[in-house]
Structure 1
């Protein structure tokens, strides 16, 4: 019971992380060791957290895409793997289905909660800042309670009960959610590119595609190459010389003016 309560507090903290400027402490690589400490196995928490971070690395919100619930999947996946003693394999097997189910529950709740936003709307019309602040805190606290409850009751019921619940979900639904999870990131990136893509960026987009698709260069290699191009493109290497050159041009222009 105490461990379930502490894990629930970790989930609540993950929601509160957004209020602190999004420090990304809700990611599995950070949450895993904390879960390991709570369950008395820090080493497994670090190992599993790092593995789940790789699994959820692409689970970020881009455009209109809402990723699987990384926070709930990371906490429960790590907790069930440690408590069952089955290690990283069990965590990877459980984390994504749990994250998808948690996302479905959150989306259902999110369709109801906006009803309370009318309080803030009325406060804005009336010029009553207290109603706006109340709604802000109400929405935040409700999010913490939601995540806390999901983690607390799931861990309290045990991994067997959660696994059985996931097994009772029709395959057509789980397959559909898995397909959607694969398609939606592409849609999100497409929407983002539609807003940012221009003639200057297009060549670099196709360069990255060629490097990964045809030359099989790892993502890390492409990222390093991108950093090199940025350093050269924006003249970070010879910035002092560029400043001297520009200052000389300015002086020349000023002399001509006089």
Structure 2
């Protein structure tokens, strides 16, 4: 075997090793995405359980309120009857007067209980609405992660399919290592999009991550249909996506899912 043939074999072995290493990285990221999805499922399950508990509590309080209304109506009828009796017979026995005072107090207590129950029902309803909103937001994030997980699975299969040993590939493939400085420079020319907007907690999720050269602290500009909306700053970076904070509340109100994001010009 001549020296050129040996060099080709060595190069092919290196390419195969690099492909296997890349497959391992993709598998690790796949497991990471699965873990995040499972964690979200558990969190949503806990919130739905709390929601069910609150709904049951509200139903109980509504039942109690119905009883209070019935009691209030009954006491009001008694009170009117006694008031009429007192007006007609002002010299009625002290027992009737005492009963009237007791009913007045009972009526006042019942009205107070009614107000308290209505206030509690309102508070619980607001809390329930908040949980419903949080569940909807978490489901959105979960759907995005599941889509990314599916995308990762597809990439994993494609990369495995690329491990082919043949002399025709030796001259067309190069090492997958990318210099960090070049990767960061390339990131400044990248364009991405908004995946999720969470206005309650003031953050957005974009489809650019560490593999694209994104770093914590990077600043990007948002465009909606070609019009500048505002800026965001990267707070957390994962392999395939990142979360960013809005630099102003005005930006938060304008940004939409699907808006384009680009690195801000210095």
Q: TM-score, normalised by structure 1?
A: 0.20
Q: Indicate the structure (1 or 2) with the bigger Cα radius of gyration.
A: 2
- Structure with bigger strand share is 2
- Structure with bigger helix share is 1
Q: TM-score, normalised by structure 2?
A: 0.19
